[in-house]
A = this chain, B = another copy of it.
Amino acid sequence: MGRVFVDISTSLDGYVAGPEQSLQDPLGKGGEDLHRWAFAARAWREAHGFEGGEASVDSDVIEETIARTGATIMGRRMFSGGAGPWADDPKANGWWGDEPPIGHPVFVLTHHDREPLVLGATTFTFVAEGIEAALEQARAAAGEKDVQVAGGAAAVQQYVAAGVVDHLHLHVSPVLLGGGVRLLENLGADPSQLEQVGVLAGSGVAHLHYRVVR
C-alpha cells in the first residue's frame, strides 16, 4: 500500500494563502508568490502544457512528486478555486479547465453529493462521507502509488490530526504574508513527532521533507 503525503507551498511565516482571500483572489494577497518557484520549473510547465522552464532542483522535486502520486485528495475550495457561492455549483468545473494538469484520480472533500466530473484524463470524485472515506477511495485508486493531500490547509490539518499522514513536503517561499490561511495549526492535541528526511535548496524556495513518526 502506498503512503499518504502532504505536498504544499507555504510562506516563511506559515501561510498557504494570503490575507483577503476571495472568489476573485483565492490565494489571497501575495499568495501567488508562494508558487513562483513552481511556475519557473520545467516539470511544472510541461505538466501544464507550457514550453520552457528550468531543469532545476525544483523541477526534479516536482517530477518526483508527479511520479509517486497515484491519487490526489483536495478540499472543496481548492477544487473550485475559491470560496464563492459557485463552489457547490454542480455544473462548475472549478478553475481546472478542460484538461487539468493532473492525469490521475482526484477526490474532492465536500458536503454535497455530486456526480463524478471527468475532465480530460482526470476524474474528480466528490466525497461527502468524510476524510476517512475519501482516503479509502484514494488509496484504492492509487494502488501501489502514493496518495497526495494537496490542500487546502483545512484538509491537511484534518488528515494530520487523524494520524494518517506519513510524510510532509513543505515548499517554503521567502515571503512574509503577515496573515491569511495558516497551515500548521489545529493538528490535534498530541502532535506527532517528525523526522527530518531532506532539506533541499531550490531557486528561491526551501524544500523541507519530514516523516511523521507514530
Contact = CB atoms under 8 A, between A and B. Distances in A.
A13 interface: yes
A178 B191 CA distance: 7
Q: Is the interface of A mostly helix, strand, loop or mixed?
A: loop
Interface size of A as a range: 20 to 34
Interface in A153-198: 170, 172, 174-178, 184-185, 187, 191-192, 194-196, 198
A208 B206 contact: yes
Contact of A208 (B172, B194, B195): B172
Q: How many copies does the complex hold?
A: 2
A196 B174 CA distance: 6
B14 A13 contact: yes
Contacts of A191: 176-178
A205 B201 contact: no
Contacts of A210: 12, 174
B199 A176 contact: no
B198 A176 contact: no
Interface centre among A185, A195, A202 (most CB of B within 10 A): A185
Given A12-B208, A196-B201, A196-B206, 8 more contacts: A12-B210, A13-B187, A176-B191, A176-B194, A178-B185, A195-B204, A199-B199, A199-B201
